[in-house]
Amino acid sequence: MMKPFQQKRLEQIITRLKKEYPQAKTALLHENPFQLLIATILSGQSTDKQVNKVTPGLFAVFKTPQNFISATQTGIEKLIFSTGYYKSKAKRIKDCCHVLMEKFGGRVPQSMEEMITLPGVGRKTANVVLGEAFGVREGICVDTHMMRLSQRLGFSKKKDAVKIEQDLLKIVPQKDWIVLPNLWIAHGRKVCFARKPNCKECVIKAYCPYFT
């Protein structure tokens, strides 16, 4: 159980960051849940900026799961090469699309239980797609920015993403499960850098153990 002071501190942090980043949302460009799913798979070991350079051309060619299934893996690899780990990502995408067609009629499922049955999809990817595409709150997306800020702000001492998510689920109001990752990711990119955070420009430094 979180102490009242810690709960209040978390609420103040979320409130401040909502004012600082009112338009916070996933940076991955997409037009539908399927595109977001593929883009999120591509974002592993890559940057959203790099993925966004690749997906317009990719989705111009491959519009549906069936399109990916019908393509050769080499054909997919050529279009996603610059995102890194392109061979394994191309295989995951094809395998994922096979399951989408076989189990879900080509539609992206809307529950965590079903999402994580898709090849290449773990809790992080599932949380992104469920939250951003469907507004479904089943968990909290934890990426490297979320891991860093969770530790610096003193809300988790864990180093494993799944364990950090479990710590956060106990203390973050469910209404903020979707927006919190977008807020912390935005803050991590703009201010709370990995090597040298810009604490002087931080709007939540008064609530941060790392700064004090």
pLDDT tens over the chain, length 212 residues: 556 778 899 999 999 999 999 999 999 999 999 999 999 999 999 999 999 999 999 999 999 999 999 999 999 999 999 999 999 999 999 999 999 999 999 999 999 999 999 999 999 999 999 999 999 999 999 999 999 999 999 999 999 999 999 999 999 999 999 999 999 999 999 999 999 999 999 999 999 999 87
Largest Cα–Cα distance of the chain, in whole Å? 56
> Is residue 143 flagged as an active site residue?
yes
CATH of 33-134, one of 1.10.10.10, 3.40.50.1970, 1.10.340.30, 1.20.120.450: 1.10.340.30
Token digits of residue 33? 């849940």
List pLDDT tens digits, range 80-95. Answer: 999 999 999 999 999 9
Domain extents for the chain?
12-22+140-207, 33-134
Residue type, 107: R
Which candidate in 94, 103, 124, 160 is catalytic? Answer: 124
> Is residue 158 flagged as an active site residue?
no
Tell me how far the alpha carbon of residue 7 is from its chain's centroid.
24
Alpha carbon distance 212, 194 (integer Å): 17
Place of tokens 């507004």: 135
Which candidate in 143, 157, 158, 160 is catalytic? Answer: 143
User: How many Å is the Cα radius of gyration of the chain?
Assistant: 18
| pTM score of the predicted model | 0.94
Alpha carbon distance 122, 105 (integer Å): 20
Fold annotation for 12-22+140-207: Endonuclease Iii, domain 2 (1.10.1670)
